[in-house]
């Protein structure tokens, strides 16, 4: 009987030791649910990166267009160009507001990308003499509008986000109209 009792005690000891070892090793391993939640929280998808780039790049081009329009209102001697610049500034301010709201809802912070390039464009406009200003302005604005249109077309192909697509549908036709008007003014001045 004593031998059976000692055998039971030995088996129970080994069983408890096995349970303790299993508990210790399982505590050291990370929880797969917790790990996946951490990865989802801090990893951005490609779609989110594309959308973030769109918001940042669009905001920067828009700010550049606004600045160029303000310079044209002050420096241009052509009243038609001044009036058109006011119209563009109002349109671009509304676009910037809408883009900023959408970016904030998606927790995207709009930063300055290619700020040096934009500043160089602005300095060239500021430094242009009155005879060359209108040509320089129209050329610079044409490039900026083409860049903005390219951003709208690109994001419309790469996302299925309804709010972004609605923004594109609202502003893309206006930007094409602005570009056509820019080309018309350029033909009149030349």
DSSP SS3 for 6: helix
pLDDT value of residue 22: 62
DSSP SS3 for 169: helix
Average pLDDT, the chain: 81
**Would you state the structure tokens that stand for residue 6, as one six-digit string?**
């000692």
pTM: 0.73
Share of the chain above pLDDT 70, in %: 71
**Distance between CA 91 and CA 72 in Å, rounded?**
15
Instruction: For the chain, list the domains and their CATH numbers.
Output: 45-189 (1.20.1260.10)
CA atoms within 13 A on the CB side of 120: 4
pLDDT value of residue 18: 60
pLDDT value of residue 32: 57
Q: How far is CA 126 from CA 30, 68, 71, 123, 140, in A?
A: 60, 9, 7, 5, 12
**Distance between CA 33 and CA 100 in Å, rounded?**
34
pLDDT value of residue 122: 75
Burial of 164 (0-12, 13-18, 19+ CB in 10 A): buried
Decide if 35 contacts 86 (C-beta within 8 A): no
pLDDT at residue 77 greater than cutoff 90: no
The arithmetic mean of pLDDT across residues 50-75, rounded, is 92
Read off the pLDDT of residues 94-123 as tens digits, 9 standing for 90 and up.
999 999 999 888 888 887 765 555 666 777
């Amino acid at each position: 009987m004593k031998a059976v009792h000692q055998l039971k005690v030995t088996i129970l000891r080994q069983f408890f030791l096995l349970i303790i070892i299993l508990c210790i090793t399982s505590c050291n391993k990370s929880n797969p649910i917790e790990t996946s939640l951490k990865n989802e929280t801090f990893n951005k998808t490609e779609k989110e990166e594309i959308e973030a780039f769109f918001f940042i790049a669009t905001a920067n081009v828009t700010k550049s267009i606004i600045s160029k329009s303000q310079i044209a209102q002050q420096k241009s001697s052509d009243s038609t160009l001044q009036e058109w610049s006011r119209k563009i500034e109002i349109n671009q301010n509304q676009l910037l507001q809408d883009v900023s709201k959408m970016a904030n809802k998606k927790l995207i912070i709009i930063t300055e990308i290619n700020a040096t390039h934009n500043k160089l464009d602005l300095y060239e406009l500021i430094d242009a003499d009155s005879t060359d200003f209108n040509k320089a302005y129209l050329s610079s604005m044409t490039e900026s509008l083409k860049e903005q249109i390219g951003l709208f077309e690109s994001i419309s192909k790469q996302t299925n986000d309804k709010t972004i697509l609605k923004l594109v549908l609202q502003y893309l036709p206006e930007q094409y109209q602005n570009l056509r008007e820019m080309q018309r003014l350029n033909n009149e001045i030349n």
